[in-house]
Chain A
Amino acid sequence: MIEILLRYWPEFLSGLKITLQLTLVGLGVGSVLGMLAALGRLYGSRWIRWLAIGYIELFRGTPLLVQLFAIYFGLPDFGVTVSRMQAALIVLAINSGAYQAEYFRGAIQAIGSGQMMAARSIGMSRWQAIRHIILPQALRVVIPAWSNEPVSLLKASAVVFLIAVPDVMTQAKIVAARTYQPLPSYFIVAFIYLIVVYALSTLLNRIERRYRIPGLEVESHRT
């Protein structure tokens, strides 16, 4: 296994870069989509609310793989050609956005209508209240639950190997085929995912602590 790693580390490394790129872009664009969908679902007019619900349910209710194939093989029928990488990025972002929307919605609802009422009572508009009062609190509350998303997206991104995007999973498959030794290759890739997930979790824990509101700590350890 060490031998394979020593010989093929450039392949794994380039794959890891693609995987991280897919995860981070998917997460970033997904968080914007998710926030818009959550706000639309909670505060939008009836039309916008249904649009948001439709988006969320459609992309949470169908397999990621189906979405990937539909975009990559389906879009050309409408005259839009996308590269493999573009298709992967679009699908991961849209899919992640649907999940993130529900995390955000839960957090916003947990902040409660009382905070909104208090904000309105000093003359804030609804948008000012959302921006200055609701979101700063909701974004803190959301961190523990939302922390699932980077981890789960990272692992879900492995499906892109089915449209031959050269991510770390695809590289592992290539190495496995080249060496005729599937086991070490997949062990290595599993280990790579594990390390990245661990690093992500540590980072997110730090962020959570950093933005904790004094006096409102949720007990994170037993006393």
Chain B
Amino acid sequence: MNERTNQQPIIEVIDLHKRYGDREVLKGISLRVYEGETVVIIGPSGTGKSTLLRCINLLTKPDRGVIKLDGVEITTPGTDEDKVRQHIGMVFQDFLLFNHLTVLNNVMIGLTKVLRMDPKEAEARAIKELERVGLGDHIHQYPGQLSGGQKQRVAIARSLAMDPRVILFDEPTSALDPELIGEVLEVMRMLAQEGMTMIVVTHEMGFAREVADRIIFIEKGVIVEEGPPDEMFYRPKVERTREFLWKITELYGHRKESEPHP
């Protein structure tokens, strides 16, 4: 992190608060994500990880706090939210592909309708992104005809096509059958290597350990601890971090697909 203190973060979150009714989900979260970083957010369910991602993407309105994209505050009233979301990709747990559109059109529609790109150009771009996630052969199929892993890769291609500054992943493999998780993680690993900036909420500890530049452990709406994977896994400063990581690795970490490649 030291070499980055002069650099401007892509995403900066300052003292974010969010409550639903009388339950405070986020109690002052602050974080910075720099260009090319993969930040993995972990924590027990119901601790506000998804809410945090939705706040960053302005899909949920925070009660208090500031979010900046490339140094510009996006939480001020009057911000063009649609414009902001063009630059922040999002991949959802349940894929949320557009069911009435072919794979190709799922990826193209943002280009043609939002960016007003020429259809020919948009098609070429969409095909490129679909090939990148290994789905060049499925472009004319409909989401209902794909496996979960394929659907999620289409969703990733849909985000990539918009050329976002950062992609947010909200438990991208939690709705998948175990044998399909690997292909999605593989694509995410590739993106990380190519320098895509990513914020990933996941329980896949193998992925976190291997791919993350930083892991942030959130519990009860606050950041308990953050650091590089090695530190978090082997030398955590907080006892609760050790306890959680141990438990979650026990549950999710021993899957073959998510083990680091030799």
Contacts and interface: CB of A to CB of B under 8 A. Distances in A.
B85 interface: yes
Interface in A135-182: 136-137, 140
B186 to A, nearest CB: 23
A124 B57 CA distance: 13
A157 B97 CA distance: 42
Contacts of B146: 215
A220 interface: no
A132 B113 contact: yes
Interface in A174-223: 213-216
Contacts of B85: 120-123
DSSP class of A's interface residues: helix, strand, loop or mixed? helix
Contact of B59 (A117, A136, A216): A117
B188 interface: no
Interface stretch (B86-94, B122-130, B194-202): B86-94
Given A121-B59, A215-B142, A215-B145, A115 B159 contact: no
Q: How large is the interface on B (under 10, 10 to 19, 20 to 34, 35 or more residues)?
A: 20 to 34
Contacts of B98: 115, 118-119, 133, 137
Interface in B30-58: 57
Interface in B106-146: 109-110, 113-115, 141-146
A79 interface: no
Given A128-B113, A214-B145, A114 B100 contact: no
Nearest to B159: A122
Contacts of A125: 82
Contact of A215 (B88, B114, B115, B143): B143
B190 interface: no
Q: How large is the interface on A (under 10, 10 to 19, 20 to 34, 35 or more residues)?
A: 20 to 34
B83 A114 contact: no
Given A122-B85, A214-B144, A115 B96 contact: yes
Contact of A123 (B83, B92, B94, B141): B83
A121 B167 CA distance: 11
Contacts of B88: 121
Interface string A92-128: 0000000000000000000000110111111111001
A215 B229 CA distance: 41
A185 B98 CA distance: 53
Nearest to B81: A120
A162 B110 CA distance: 54
B40 to A, nearest CB: 20
A119 B89 CA distance: 11
A122 B162 contact: yes
Nearest to A121: B90
Nearest to B97: A118
Contacts of B142: 213-216
B8 interface: no
A82 to B, nearest CB: 41
A120 B146 CA distance: 23
Given A122-B85, A133-B98, 18 more contacts: A115-B96, A119-B98, A120-B85, A121-B59, A121-B85, A122-B114, A122-B158, A122-B159, A123-B82, A124-B82, A125-B82, A132-B113, A140-B100, A214-B145, A215-B141, A215-B144, A215-B146, A216-B99
6 contacts: A114-B96, A123-B86, A124-B110, A132-B113, A136-B100, A137-B99
